[in-house]
Amino acid sequence: MTAEIIDGKAFAAEVRGKVAEQVAGLKAAHGVTPGLAVVLVGEDPASQVYVRSKGKMTVEVGMASFEHRLDADTSEADLLALIARLNADPEVHGILVQLPLPGHLNEDLVINAIDPAKDVDGFHISNVGLLGTGQKSMVPCTPLGCLMMLRAHHGSLSGLDAVVIGRSNIVGKPMAQLLLGDSCTVTIAHSRTKDLPEVVRRADIVVAAVGRPEMVPGDWIKPGATVIDVGINRIPAPEKGAGKTRLVGDVAFDSAAAVAGAITPVPGGVGPMTIACLLANTLTACCRANGWPEPEGLTA
Ligand code: GUN
């Protein structure tokens, strides 16, 4: 078997297109422009790339982008004061504080200072609790993107065996909640799981989110299973020349693609969906804030 490649890049472009269409509709009908504020503290190079890319795509879908770049030594009080201003700003419907924060800042304290209704990352403790109890919440962007791709591929996920490898608060745990919400039988596996290969071999759906390059080989995959690879790992690529690198996922792509029914590539799979879902969440937050119907097909 050769797996169908789930094209996250194309899927993300489709999601952004739907967002752009609905943003234009809100502007025409109500004169309201959804706004996303992104806060970056310090000069972490990877974070700077993400933030630039988020700002560019926010503007491309017709939303307002507010960027706040703060010095690495910004005090917690100053950061909390900025969040309070953004919470109160009617032009800001979504707030994202880029992680990781410099070590002197308490991430939990900062994230929980964001108005849960504007928490487009879905990291606020209220949103975590709402998701865990099956109530309407803001859903973390990466798991939401994975869910959208799985639903598009399978239609109904009801009754399927899903294994999520990785138990992070950002991906593994919310992913498991979403799959449970769609009536999968869910296993969360992690570094202490006994006989991980056997656990993965039972799964109709495998979501790999551990951050270890190519740790899931093809012979762990049940023939015909759907594999969602969340990992983005940079590894040395001497075949491309001295000092060169390349991106790989948590799944050994070639061997897995030989047995899976469908698989997301790295790059071009889950990655592009994360920002697309951030924009979708900002639109959702704007609609909820105004009491308008939720955007169709863009929420959990
Ligand atoms: N840093 C890396 N990924 C993310 C993300 O999805 N949200 C935030 N806030 N920071 C990140």
| pLDDT tens digits, one per residue of 162-192 | 999 999 999 999 999 999 999 999 999 999 9
- Is 0.85 surpassed by the pTM of this model? yes
The kind and range of the H/E element at 262 are strand 262-263
pLDDT in tens, 191-240: 999 999 999 999 999 999 999 999 999 999 999 999 999 999 999 999 99
Banded pLDDT at 251 (limits 50, 70, 90): very high
Residue 161 annotated in active site: no
Mutate to test the pocket of ligand 1, among 49, 50, 124, 138 (most ligand atoms within 8 A of CB): 50
Nearest-5° Cα angle at 83, 79 to 88 = 150
Which residue lies with its CA nearest to atom 9 of ligand 1?
A: 98
pLDDT of 75 above 70 = yes
Q: What percent of the chain has pLDDT over 90?
A: 99
What is the distance in A from the centroid of ligand 1 to the CA of 216? Answer: 24
Domains of the chain in sequence order: 32-116 (3.40.50.10860), 141-271 (3.40.50.720)
Could you identify the atom of ligand 1 that is nearest to the CA of residue 278? 6
Q: What is the average per-residue pLDDT within 17-42?
A: 98
Scan for tokens 């202490």, then name that residue: 192
Q: What is the average per-residue pLDDT within 96-107?
A: 97
Banded pLDDT at 1 (limits 50, 70, 90): low
Q: What is the average per-residue pLDDT within 52-77?
A: 98
* Mean of all residue pLDDT scores within the chain: 97
Which residue lies with its CA nearest to atom 8 of ligand 1?
A: 98
Which residues, including other chains, have CB under 8 Å from residue 188's CB and lie 6 or more apart?
A: 163, 164, 166, 167, 172, 173, 176
CA atoms within 13 A on the CB side of 35: 15
What tokens were used for 153? 């591929």
User: Is 54:280 a contact under the CB 8 Å cutoff?
Assistant: no
Prior bond of 267 cis (ω within 30°): yes
Q: What is the average per-residue pLDDT within 87-98?
A: 98
Backbone angles phi, psi at 148, to 5 degrees: -60, -45
Q: What is the average per-residue pLDDT within 79-100?
A: 98
What tokens were used for 130? 């709402």
Marked catalytic residue, from 22, 98, 118, 222: 98
What tokens were used for 71? 């010095």
pLDDT at residue 181 in the model: 98
Nearest-5° Cα angle at 194, 193 to 200 = 75
